[in-house]
Amino acid sequence: MPDTSKLEKLNRELEKSEKKLRKAINDEKALQHQLKQLTRKERTHRLCTRGGMLESFLQEPERLTDDDVMLLLKLIFHRQDTQDILKKLLEREKSRVPIKQYLQKFPKWGRFGVTSVTPFLLLPVHPEGCTPARRT
Protein backbone atom coordinates (compact mmCIF):
# COMPACT_ATOMS: atom_id res chain seq x y z
CA MET A 1 0.00 0.00 0.00
CA PRO A 2 2.66 2.59 0.82
CA ASP A 3 4.01 2.28 -2.71
CA THR A 4 0.59 3.21 -4.14
CA SER A 5 0.33 6.39 -2.07
CA LYS A 6 3.89 7.32 -3.03
CA LEU A 7 3.04 6.74 -6.67
CA GLU A 8 -0.13 8.83 -6.37
CA LYS A 9 1.87 11.60 -4.70
CA LEU A 10 4.45 11.56 -7.50
CA ASN A 11 1.66 11.63 -10.12
CA ARG A 12 0.08 14.66 -8.41
CA GLU A 13 3.45 16.43 -8.37
CA LEU A 14 3.92 15.56 -12.01
CA GLU A 15 0.49 17.00 -12.86
CA LYS A 16 1.28 20.17 -10.88
CA SER A 17 4.60 20.56 -12.67
CA GLU A 18 2.99 20.00 -16.06
CA LYS A 19 0.31 22.56 -15.20
CA LYS A 20 3.01 25.09 -14.19
CA LEU A 21 4.87 24.36 -17.43
CA ARG A 22 1.73 24.93 -19.54
CA LYS A 23 1.09 28.20 -17.67
CA ALA A 24 4.69 29.34 -18.24
CA ILE A 25 4.44 28.48 -21.95
CA ASN A 26 1.16 30.40 -22.25
CA ASP A 27 2.63 33.36 -20.36
CA GLU A 28 5.61 33.35 -22.73
CA LYS A 29 3.28 33.33 -25.75
CA ALA A 30 1.29 36.23 -24.29
CA LEU A 31 4.48 38.24 -23.70
CA GLN A 32 5.71 37.53 -27.23
CA HIS A 33 2.34 38.70 -28.56
CA GLN A 34 2.59 41.92 -26.51
CA LEU A 35 6.10 42.53 -27.84
CA LYS A 36 4.89 42.08 -31.43
CA GLN A 37 1.99 44.48 -30.78
CA LEU A 38 4.32 47.15 -29.38
CA THR A 39 6.79 46.68 -32.21
CA ARG A 40 3.98 46.94 -34.77
CA LYS A 41 2.58 50.10 -33.13
CA GLU A 42 6.04 51.66 -33.04
CA ARG A 43 6.60 50.84 -36.72
CA THR A 44 3.17 52.20 -37.69
CA HIS A 45 3.87 55.43 -35.82
CA ARG A 46 7.28 55.76 -37.51
CA LEU A 47 5.78 55.13 -40.96
CA CYS A 48 3.01 57.68 -40.44
CA THR A 49 5.42 60.30 -39.10
CA ARG A 50 7.92 59.87 -41.94
CA GLY A 51 5.17 59.67 -44.54
CA GLY A 52 3.87 62.99 -43.23
CA MET A 53 7.35 64.47 -43.47
CA LEU A 54 7.63 63.36 -47.09
CA GLU A 55 4.19 64.63 -47.99
CA SER A 56 5.00 68.07 -46.58
CA PHE A 57 7.58 68.45 -49.38
CA LEU A 58 5.34 67.31 -52.22
CA GLN A 59 3.41 69.87 -54.19
CA GLU A 60 -0.19 68.75 -54.45
CA PRO A 61 0.53 65.26 -53.03
CA GLU A 62 -3.02 64.07 -53.69
CA ARG A 63 -2.37 64.34 -57.44
CA LEU A 64 0.75 62.14 -57.34
CA THR A 65 0.47 58.37 -57.61
CA ASP A 66 2.46 55.96 -55.47
CA ASP A 67 4.60 55.26 -58.54
CA ASP A 68 5.32 59.00 -58.94
CA VAL A 69 6.49 59.25 -55.34
CA MET A 70 8.57 56.09 -55.67
CA LEU A 71 10.24 57.46 -58.80
CA LEU A 72 11.03 60.71 -57.01
CA LEU A 73 12.48 58.88 -54.01
CA LYS A 74 14.57 56.63 -56.23
CA LEU A 75 15.99 59.69 -58.01
CA ILE A 76 16.78 61.41 -54.73
CA PHE A 77 18.31 58.40 -53.00
CA HIS A 78 20.40 57.27 -55.95
CA ARG A 79 22.29 60.57 -55.97
CA GLN A 80 25.82 60.22 -54.62
CA ASP A 81 25.52 63.27 -52.36
CA THR A 82 22.35 61.81 -50.82
CA GLN A 83 24.12 58.48 -50.25
CA ASP A 84 27.04 60.34 -48.63
CA ILE A 85 24.86 62.26 -46.20
CA LEU A 86 22.83 59.13 -45.38
CA LYS A 87 26.04 57.27 -44.58
CA LYS A 88 27.19 60.15 -42.38
CA LEU A 89 23.85 60.28 -40.60
CA LEU A 90 24.05 56.56 -39.86
CA GLU A 91 27.60 56.98 -38.55
CA ARG A 92 26.43 59.88 -36.38
CA GLU A 93 23.67 57.70 -35.00
CA LYS A 94 26.23 55.14 -33.88
CA SER A 95 28.16 57.78 -31.95
CA ARG A 96 24.96 59.47 -30.64
CA VAL A 97 26.10 62.99 -31.50
CA PRO A 98 23.18 65.46 -31.15
CA ILE A 99 21.76 66.47 -34.56
CA LYS A 100 22.36 70.20 -33.96
CA GLN A 101 26.03 69.62 -33.22
CA TYR A 102 26.40 67.23 -36.14
CA LEU A 103 24.78 69.56 -38.68
CA GLN A 104 27.12 72.41 -37.75
CA LYS A 105 29.83 70.46 -39.59
CA PHE A 106 27.85 70.81 -42.83
CA PRO A 107 27.05 74.47 -43.52
CA LYS A 108 25.83 73.72 -47.07
CA TRP A 109 23.24 71.23 -45.76
CA GLY A 110 19.86 72.22 -44.55
CA ARG A 111 18.14 75.28 -45.90
CA PHE A 112 16.47 76.16 -42.61
CA GLY A 113 19.40 76.08 -40.19
CA VAL A 114 21.07 73.52 -38.00
CA THR A 115 18.12 72.94 -35.69
CA SER A 116 16.20 71.05 -38.36
CA VAL A 117 15.82 67.32 -37.85
CA THR A 118 13.74 66.51 -40.93
CA PRO A 119 15.86 64.26 -43.19
CA PHE A 120 14.59 65.91 -46.36
CA LEU A 121 15.91 69.26 -45.17
CA LEU A 122 19.37 67.75 -45.26
CA LEU A 123 19.36 67.50 -49.04
CA PRO A 124 21.69 69.93 -50.81
CA VAL A 125 19.99 73.19 -51.61
CA HIS A 126 19.47 73.76 -55.32
CA PRO A 127 21.33 76.85 -56.64
CA GLU A 128 17.99 78.36 -57.69
CA GLY A 129 16.72 78.05 -54.13
CA CYS A 130 14.22 75.16 -54.28
CA THR A 131 12.07 75.12 -51.16
CA PRO A 132 9.55 72.61 -49.86
CA ALA A 133 5.96 72.96 -50.97
CA ARG A 134 4.00 75.37 -48.81
CA ARG A 135 0.53 74.50 -47.53
CA THR A 136 -2.06 77.22 -47.74
Whose CA is closest to 86, among 53, 115, 123?
123
Residue 129, pLDDT score: 46
**What pLDDT is attached to residue 4?**
83
Regions of the chain where pLDDT drops below 50: 110-136
| Cα torsion 89, 51, 121, 62: sign | positive
Q: What are phi and psi of 109, to 5 degrees?
A: -95, 145
User: What pLDDT does residue 112 have?
Assistant: 44
pLDDT of residue 135: 46
> What is the rounded CA–CA span in Å between residue 106 and residue 87?
14
Q: What's the rounded Cα separation, in Å, for the pair 85 and 94?
A: 14
Give 99's contacts (C-beta < 8 A, 6+ positions apart).
Answer: 92, 117
Predicted confidence at residue 101, as pLDDT, reads 66
Say what the pLDDT of residue 106 is: 60
Q: What is the pTM of this model?
A: 0.51
